[in-house]
Structure 1
Amino acid sequence: MGIISFQGARTKVKKQDDTLIKVSDYMTRDLITFTPEQSVMEVMETLVRHKISGGPVVNKNNELLGIISEGDCIKQLNESRYYNMPIDDANVERFMVKDVDTIDGNASIFDAANKFLETKRRRFPIIEDGKLVGQISQKDVMKAALMMNSQRWRIV
């Protein structure tokens, strides 16, 4: 006599398309930005006040010129002390990082996670039509993961 199964027919689990979970869905759009002419002291005050570690530097047309971070500010502090120069004279343009990695807003959140691991960056600006439209951080990727079922990586 054969084995009889009392288990009903199983429905096929739909495979989640990773491209549906996009960077643009989790990126921050309301950014604190800086200009190249701003003083490093002003940047430091803003970073401390808003509890952020850095931000994009843009021109008047909202085009990305660079990124300024806490580390860049610390470098300026160190140089001003070493050369006995006033810190008030230092502007963002001199200390910002100009070669900035960006990520496409249509990229999947998993592509962003891989890029964070590969580059050791903390944030990536998102550019659309030459303009800064947002930024994705490692924390934003973690927020996206929390919104998903970690067992199957599907949107809850």
Structure 2
Amino acid sequence: MDLILWRHAEAEEWQSDDGHAVSDLERSLTPRGEKQAARMAGWLDRQLPERTRILVSPARRCEQTAMALGRKYKLRAELGPDAPPSQLLELAQWPANKLPILIIGHQPTLGQTIAQLLALKEGECPVKKGALWWLRYRDREAGAQTVVVTVQSPELL
């Protein structure tokens, strides 16, 4: 199984221009974030198999990141900010799912999921805005393994 975890691109701050608080779910991508999403989407579209399922947090910034890819996706409330890694993995049906899954979501959930799957001691892995981690589950004679296929950052594409 392939699990691709893509953190939303750069989003606007918590406060709007007029000083009124913007809901966390309503925050939009910045112009820089739109460029990050487009750059990563261009690379990712060439790499993803056609049958990849795409699941997206309902936050506006995540949906805007997904729209840059130009493929069908489903918004899933279970992927909202501060979702636990267990919920993400259950939704992805890790590791039993036969289809590749792309999840567009948030920190710290993505970093905690990566740390759990790779057995990192710190319990959380930093994931830069707009970056993605591509993980693969495989069964070997020595046992099950999670391997890193690639880590990509929009600034390096």
Output the TM-score relative to the length of structure 2.
0.30
Structure with higher strand content? 2
Question: Which has the higher Rg, Structure 1 or Structure 2?
Answer: 1
- Structure of higher RCO (CA pairs closer than 8 Å, 6+ residues apart): 2
